[in-house]
């Protein structure tokens, strides 16, 4: 029992920091996802980041960000209770699209992109940078609806210092400046993650090809012309050449769609 209200039902998955369980909420009813930190990480930077994730999620209030329900420590073990999203990761959805191509996947990809961009806009307005935007950190359900998850390496741009032990993120989805110094990033780092995620949604290919010399141009040619321009700018290696924020990237996609309608 965690927090006097969450009774574990079954394990849903296991990560580097600990396990995720489906739980029954005995106070409010319904189900929750409870992330439980592995005991060996107690008193380490991993626990510090785990607690930081809970604090960050408590500040966020957006329909396309996974909602935190509670957090605490039980028997010296830290835990976070989150809303349980009954769906799959965007990564799994992309694998399904590749196995069974459907014309509707492009409309689904557009909707997911819009929702993620809106979520990131909210995050950026609070001075936060996710730093690990990728398909496996996006939960998809319903028609589809998307929610951004996993804020374990989030960066608060308004803090004077960076937490010891900050992690890099995921190489294929992160920009060069983040690999050099994960603390010296801007919202443009999340734009890069959005660009690589959008590329993967539309093409089904791994984004490493657009950051590899000699392959980038050919990889971008797999995209529709207008979208190619958006992904190209979002994934530029130099910060000043990218969209400054997710909101700016979304504006470019909306303008592209408006142009297509008027033609």
3-class secondary-structure state, position 159: coil
Cα–chain center distance at 148 = 5
| 132 noted as active-site residue | yes
- Strand ranges (DSSP E) for the chain? 6-14, 18-25, 31-37, 68-74, 77-83, 88-89, 128-129, 138-141, 145-148, 155-156
Closest to 134 measured CA to CA, from 119, 121, 149, 123: 149
Q: Report yes or no: 256 and 227 within 8 Å, Cβ to Cβ.
A: yes
* Given the residues 25, 70, 132, 150, the one annotated as active site: 132
- Strand ranges (DSSP E) for 101-193? 128-129, 138-141, 145-148, 155-156
Q: Report yes or no: 106 and 202 within 8 Å, Cβ to Cβ.
A: yes
Here the tokens at position 220 are: 């971008």
d(CA 136, CA 84): 16
Backbone angles phi, psi at 239, to 5 degrees: -55, -45
Q: Report yes or no: 124 and 150 within 8 Å, Cβ to Cβ.
A: no
Catalytic residue set: 132
């Amino acid at each position: 029992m965690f927090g006097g209200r969450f009774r574990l039902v079954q394990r849903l998955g296991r990560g580097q920091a600990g396990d995720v369980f489906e739980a029954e909420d005995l106070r409010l009813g319904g189900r929750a996802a409870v992330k439980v930190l592995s005991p060996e990480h107690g008193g380490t930077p991993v626990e510090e980041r785990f607690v930081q994730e809970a604090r960050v999620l408590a500040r966020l209030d957006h329909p396309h960000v996974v909602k935190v329900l509670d957090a605490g420590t039980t028997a010296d073990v830290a835990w976070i209770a989150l809303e349980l999203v009954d769906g799959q990761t965007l990564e799994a959805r992309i694998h399904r699209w590749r196995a069974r191509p459907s014309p509707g996947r492009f409309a689904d990809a557009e909707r997911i992109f819009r929702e993620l961009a809106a979520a990131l806009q909210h995050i950026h307005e609070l001075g936060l940078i996710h730093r690990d935007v990728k398909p496996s950190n996006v939960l998809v359900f319903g028609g589809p609806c998307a929610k951004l998850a996993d804020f374990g390496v989030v960066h608060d741009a308004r803090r004077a210092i960076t937490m010891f032990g900050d992690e890099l993120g995921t190489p294929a989805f992160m920009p060069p400046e983040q690999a050099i110094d994960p603390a010296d990033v801007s919202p443009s780092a999340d734009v890069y993650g959005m660009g690589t995620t959008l590329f993967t949604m539309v093409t089904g290919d791994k984004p490493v090809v657009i950051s590899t010399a000699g392959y980038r141009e050919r990889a971008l040619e797999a995209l529709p012309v207008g979208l190619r321009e958006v992904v190209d700018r979002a994934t530029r290696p130099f910060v000043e050449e990218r969209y400054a924020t997710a909101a700016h990237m979304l504006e470019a996609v909306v303008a592209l769609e408006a142009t297509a309608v008027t033609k």
